[in-house]
Each structure stands twice: as structure tokens, then as C-alpha cells.
Chains A and B, each alone.
Chain A
């Protein structure tokens, strides 16, 4: 799957480099959701995350001639995204309080036919992203790269600039922390539901 995806990416990149700018659209469509997810979860501000995600794609476009095929295009792109967020966070210097619209913004623009299923999903969505945003920045990125993109540890190391062993350690701790939080929250929700049913 990854190889097929990468070979398609390489074809589009070749087309862009030969002057077919429109071929870049395919790459944007393919990766926009994850890049946006990453920027939203790292920056925690909707407007800034959107701006950052756009900058990531523009930087990737400009830098395409410099893209060497020693990494997959997606990994290279995520590295740009990660660095963009880190730079923006450094510019802020102090950590911002959680944006008030952070939870509400997830709920906008979703269309799902089954109402009950959607409610469950919505709840899960909120819980998960609440739990993710409580993790430190690097851990947040690692967890997302691991679970959403199924990236191997070596590629996560390339994206974040951490050593492979450091990635492994951080990832394990982050997963453990996230799991504890999720299970704890889940249990709370179940017990609350049980009480209300009584």
C-alpha cells in the first residue's frame, strides 16, 4: 500500500517538475487531512493550523526540486509540517492556553447518516483529541504519526529529528499515557451512563 502510494506520488512529483503544476493538486488532496490534523493538534488553534498547513504545502511545492528519494514523499512532507509547527510554537514562546473553540471546531462540517453512530463517534473524537492535546508536543506528533499514518519508527525519527531509540521510548510512554487517559475517561462515561439509566 505504502509503496504503491509512494510510486504514485513520485509520478505526480515528476509531472510537477516537468511543468504540470496541476499535478500537485493530487498530492494536496491525498495528504491535506493528516497535515491539517497534525497542525491542529500541535498548534491547538484552528486559524493558525489552517495557515500552517497551507504553508507546509507551499513550502513542499517550492522545495520539490530538492526532494531526494531517500525518504517517502509523505515522510518528507510530515517533516516539513512538524518543523513548521515547532517553529511557530517557538515563536509563540509561551504555551498558549487551550483555545476555546478547540472542541467545538471538531464538530463542524460532519455529515454521517446514522445519528447514534455519529453521536458515539463525536464523543470518541472529542475524548481522543482531548487526551492527545494533553500530551507534550513531540509525543502528540509521534502518537498521530503512529496511529493515523502507521509510520515505522525510523520514519518517525526522520520526521521529528529524534534518534530511533528516543522515538521508541517516547512513543511507548505516550501510548501508555494516552491509553490510561482514554480508559479512565471511558470508564467514567460508562459509569455516568449507568447512573443516568437507573
Chain B
């Protein structure tokens, strides 16, 4: 840009700044603020921010739980030796056999169930999931939690 152009632009800016400073802004009509506040108090509400029911963290926890169960099925339980071994192991974890084949021997069946590996496995799985979630919250998701608290 040429020197004269810079000077003329400066001059132009100065002049326009003076014009604007002299003229000033429009003034909102009297009662403008009151009208808005009245309208807000009457029927306006803040927009709702929709959050997914299952959060990102929860999905990670679910995924980790699933992987944990898969790993346990493969490594913790004995091999059945068949081609469909993994599936059998998986269904084996959650299957439950009656102690003497009689559905109505409730007390007997309950004791049999509690003494089985399913209970231990369930408690272990829940502990893994809860522990994993706690670990995630401590490390990754502090900012997410903070923003959630502010919004709530």
C-alpha cells in the first residue's frame, strides 16, 4: 500500500470514528428490558440439552465387561475340546442345573445355586465393571463430569 493511501485510510477512519462517536447508537425504547423479562418469567424456559441415556463412559464400561467375560470364558474355564468350545463355555457360565432335577425343591435348589460358580462369577464381574468405571472416572472423564454438574 502506498504511503498516501495509508494516510488517507487513517484520515478516513478518524473521520468516521468521529461521525460515529458524535451520532451514537440507537436507544432501545422505554420498557424494552421490562417487556423481555416479563416474557421470560411468563412462559420462557431454557432449552433442554438432550444427553444420551448411555454415556460414552458407560459404553466403554459395557465393552470392557463384555471383553472380560469373553476372556474368562476362554482362559478361566476348562476346555470342552469341541469346535464350538467358546460358545459352550459362554453358555456354561450362565447355565444353571437343578440339584436333583426337581423344580419345586426350592431351598435345596437355592443352596445348590449359591454354592455354584455362577454367584462367584457374577460378583467378580460386577466388581470388575465397577472398578473399571471408577478408574475411567478418575483418569479420562473428569471434564465430562464437571460440565455435567454445571449444566445440571
Contacts and interface: CB of A to CB of B under 8 A. Distances in A.
Interface string B31-64: 0110111011100111111000000000000000
Interface of B: 12-13, 15-17, 19-20, 22-30, 32-33, 35-37, 39-41, 44-49, 150-151
B23 A21 contact: no
B22 A58 contact: no
A51 to B, nearest CB: 10
User: Ordered nearest first, which 6 A-B pairs have the shortest CB separation?
Assistant: A37-B26, A32-B28, A36-B28, A147-B20, A128-B23, A124-B22
Nearest to A122: B23
Contacts of A109: 27, 29-30
Contact of B16 (A33, A61, A127, A182): A182
Nearest to B15: A179
A128 B44 contact: no
Given A147-B17, A175-B12, A183-B15, A25 B33 contact: yes
Please classify the interface of chain B as helix (H, G, I), strand (E, B), loop, or mixed, using the class held by over half of its residues.
helix
Interface in A96-124: 106, 109-110, 120-121, 124
A118 to B, nearest CB: 11
Interface residues of A, number: 46
A29 interface: yes
Given A29-B33, A53-B32, A179 B25 contact: no
Given A58-B40, A147-B16, A179-B15, A50 B25 contact: no
B28 A63 contact: no
A17 B147 CA distance: 12
B37 A121 contact: no
B40 A21 contact: yes
